[in-house]
């Protein structure tokens, strides 16, 4: 099993989608699209572009000393040093989050589902920073501090080695000891997960991580993707601006409303065309079927690389870690089956 095993959970699940130390950056898509010039339109609140939280250079205080002995041969995670940012409380909170978003099938043998998205994970850790140590007393600066440390490929390696085993041990422990309310044909029932359900939870988590790794890797390596993300964001911003103007026009001004309605339709088509191009480049059908918002995930990467100044190597390190983590989850599931 590779040394980058948990980087996805601690960084991909942590940041992003999606989590995570990351402030939500995505304009809301207009909920109503005018078909006729006289249609009633209602405002959609457009959030202000939040302050970028990844401007700082990596924190040198947290860098691994190149003169120290490498950790390549360390097999026991207990022998590894603790990270200055990640704590056991974070690992416990993350395991609980995964556990609570797995829902067993409602009938014996039915397929369970996993409802934790990249975006939800981002928002979960956006302000509380649960289990993450930092020196700054201000939330935005604290996020800068944390991301500046964690988004270094070498730190990713260390975090993977140190906290990967604990994460999956905790996840299995919750399944075996923490009663859950689950849906049954007779209604909601509080009970422990069965062994088969714990195995399924691990396997679904593995699949999600493999998909996330694919999106991250393709977004980082395809040269045109981040440019398309910029085009997408520009189209969304233009669309919101035209919507806003449409809302201000007097209802009696049919010509202007008709003109703006036509422009809105054009921008919607442009936005969706760009969205489709992004999805085609970084995704595959199974990923969309699993519920991934790949455009949101690509936006997260865009913000880190183009706005925050982080390298594509950091994104690729997260992708490799997600793949290793998926393998670890499957190994854990296989071990439970053989017990």
Per-residue pLDDT tens digits for 224-255: 999 999 999 999 999 999 999 999 998 888 89
Out of 49-58, 83-92, 166-175, 186-195, which region has the weakest mean confidence (pLDDT)?
A: 49-58
Out of 14-28, 136-150, 275-289, 313-327, which region has the weakest mean confidence (pLDDT)?
A: 14-28
Residue whose entry in the numeric block shows the structure tokens 């449409």: 246
Distance CA 323, CA 97 (A): 20
Could you give the angle at the alpha carbon of 269 between the alpha carbons of 263 and 273, nearest 5°? 145
Pairing of strands 187-191, 180-184: antiparallel
Question: What backbone torsions phi and psi does residue 191 show, to the nearest 5 degrees?
Answer: -160, 170
Is the pTM higher than 0.85? The answer reads no
Which one-letter DSSP state was computed for residue 187?
A: E
Residues contacting residue 170 through CB under 8 Å, at least 6 positions apart: 91, 92, 95
Residue whose entry in the numeric block shows the structure tokens 């679904």: 204
**250 burial type by CB count under 10 A (0-12 exposed, 13-18 middle, 19+ buried):** exposed
| Mean pLDDT, rounded, for 319-339 | 89
Written as six digits, the tokens of 298 are 């690509």
Per-residue pLDDT tens digits for 193-204: 999 999 999 999
Distance CA 33, CA 57 (A): 42
Whether the per-residue pLDDT at 22 is higher than 80: the answer is no
Whether the per-residue pLDDT at 75 is higher than 80: the answer is no
The structural domains of the chain, with segments of one domain joined by +, span 7-338
| Mean pLDDT, rounded, for 119-130 | 84
């Amino acid at each position: 099993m590779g040394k980058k095993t948990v980087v996805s959970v601690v960084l991909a699940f942590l940041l992003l989608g999606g989590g995570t130390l990351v402030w939500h950056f995505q304009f809301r898509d207009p909920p109503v699209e005018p078909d006729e010039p006289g249609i009633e339109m209602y405002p959609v609140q457009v959030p202000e572009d939040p302050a970028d939280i990844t401007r700082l250079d990596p924190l040198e205080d947290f860098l691994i000393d190149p003169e120290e002995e490498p950790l390549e041969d360390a097999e026991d995670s207990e022998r590894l040093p603790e990270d200055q940012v990640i704590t056991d409380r974070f690992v416990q909170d993350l395991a609980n989050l995964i556990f609570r978003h797995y829902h067993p099938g409602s009938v014996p043998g039915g397929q369970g589902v996993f409802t934790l998205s990249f975006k939800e994970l981002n928002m979960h850790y956006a302000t509380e920073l649960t289990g993450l140590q930092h020196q700054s007393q201000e939330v935005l600066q604290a996020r800068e501090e944390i991301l500046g440390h964690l988004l270094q490929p070498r730190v990713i390696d260390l975090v993977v080695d140190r906290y990967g085993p604990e994460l999956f041990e905790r996840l299995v422990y919750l399944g075996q000891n923490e009663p859950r309310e689950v849906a049954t044909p007779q209604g909601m029932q509080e009970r422990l997960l069965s062994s088969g359900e714990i195995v399924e939870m691990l396997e679904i988590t593995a699949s999600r991580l493999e998909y996330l790794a694919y999106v991250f890797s393709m977004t980082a390596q395809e040269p045109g993707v981040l440019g398309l993300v910029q085009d997408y964001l520009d189209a969304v911003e233009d669309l919101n601006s035209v919507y806003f103007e449409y809302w201000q026009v007097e209802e009696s001004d049919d010509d202007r409303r008709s003109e703006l309605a036509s422009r809105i339709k054009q921008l919607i088509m442009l936005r969706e065309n760009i969205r489709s191009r992004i999805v085609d480049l970084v995704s595959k059908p199974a990923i969309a079927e699993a519920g991934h918002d790949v455009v949101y995930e690509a936006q997260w990467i865009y913000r880190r690389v183009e706005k925050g100044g982080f390298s594509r190597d950091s994104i690729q390190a997260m992708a490799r870690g997600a793949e290793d983590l998926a393998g670890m989850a499957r190994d854990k599931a296989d071990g439970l089956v053989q017990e």
